[in-house]
Amino acid sequence: MKIKIGVVGATGEVGRTMVKVLEERNHEIDDLRLFASEKSRGVKIPFRGKEIEVETLTEESMKEGFDFLLFSAGKDVSKHFSPIASAHGTTVIDNSSAFRMDPKIPLVVPGVNSHVLKEYRGIIANPNCSTIQLVMALKPIHDLYMLKRVVVTTMQAVSGSGHKGIEELEMEMKGTGSPKVYPKRIAYNCIPQIGPIFDDGFSEEEMKMFNETRKIMECDCTVEATTVRVPVFYGHSESVLAEFKGKVDVKEVLRAWEATPYLKVWKDDYPTPIDVKGSDLSHIGRPRVSQTGALMFWNVADNVRVGAATNAVRILEYFIRT
């Protein structure tokens, strides 16, 4: 099946990774077009032995009728251009927060809630990076015991802020620069704030995890998150405590995880961000049951791939395969 695909925001950290993931998958792409802002026009990005020149994103280009457009250019760009593309027959997969909580738009992690895409065409939302790896780990256990409550502390890499976050950490490690992306120095530090903090004391990222997990998992569970930015370039880590309605058996949990193709369980070791860079799996280590019967585990994933680019491409692949 030959397809026409476009990537919007192709020169950003996630956009470039989307192109890389598309290159790695064995699909016949008839036409791949790359779009970004005017300042990136003419930049060349390699793809399968060729170099594709980045075009300026315009309303007219969105009317051309692609099979799929992968957006990673921020919510303002998505809000303006995605409806135009969708109105002209394109399936849009958007990585921003623009449409995630719109009840009419599916929020999808393939393998977790792919069923919501059946007979659907239009705009599809890609969840937040920290949510994606979490629900990948929780879904097989939710199917066994029914999820009731999650307490999660995230340790999120600076690449979650795009290339500007990487540059800020690099500069501060060299002893130059001052905080611009983050509210405090990130080098050799931890910042327990991702996004603005609301009146109730929760940050924007923490509320994303609450709202998105419940929508994706289609459950009434409680999600209590503390999200922390750490001086790591790639790879989000999460310490998870999950309570279920049924009694948890670790051996049964391990069997369920090991039978899930998008997960990797570390039995005699545990994953770290360096270990999982470039992986398309959600990695799990240190599973144990607390004294109160809750399941506890350590979860690590490449946030740019699993948490963004690969998830978007997997959504695209759902339509190719069905």
Residue range 257-283, pLDDT digits in tens: 999 999 999 999 999 999 999 999 999
Average pLDDT over residues 66-76: 95
Q: 38 and 110 share a domain?
A: yes
Q: 117 and 234 share a domain?
A: no
Question: CATH code at 56?
Answer: 3.40.50.720
CA distance 185 to 180: 9
pLDDT at residue 94 tops 90: yes
pLDDT value at residue 177: 83
Q: 287 and 144 share a domain?
A: yes
Question: CATH code at 176?
Answer: 3.30.360.10
pLDDT at residue 1 tops 70: no
Known catalytic residue: 129? Answer: yes
Q: 122 and 267 share a domain?
A: no
Q: 169 and 258 share a domain?
A: yes
Q: 149 and 14 share a domain?
A: no
pLDDT value at residue 4: 95
Residue for token pair 């961000």:
273
User: pLDDT, tens digit, for every residue of 270-321?
Assistant: 999 999 999 999 999 999 999 999 999 999 999 999 999 999 999 999 999 8
Q: 174 and 215 share a domain?
A: yes
pLDDT at residue 129 tops 70: yes
Q: Angle at Cα 156 formed by Cα 68 and Cα 298, nearest 5°?
A: 100
Q: Which of 88, 129, 142, 283 is catalytic?
A: 129
Q: 138 and 252 share a domain?
A: yes
Q: 155 and 185 share a domain?
A: yes
pLDDT at residue 256 tops 70: yes
Q: 194 and 111 share a domain?
A: no
Average pLDDT over residues 98-121: 95
pLDDT value at residue 322: 76
Residue-number span of the structural domain to which 159 is assigned: 130-303
Q: 104 and 146 share a domain?
A: no
pLDDT value at residue 26: 83
Instruction: Please count the structural domains in the chain.
Output: 2
User: pLDDT, tens digit, for every residue of 16-53?
Assistant: 999 999 999 988 898 999 999 999 999 999 999 999 99
Q: 96 and 216 share a domain?
A: no
Please name the residues in contact with 240: beta carbons below 8 A apart, sequence gap of 6 or more. 134, 137, 138, 150, 151, 152, 295, 296, 297, 298, 299
Known catalytic residue: 88? Answer: no
% the chain with pLDDT above 70: 100
pLDDT value at residue 321: 85
Q: Which of 142, 221, 236, 283 is catalytic?
A: 236
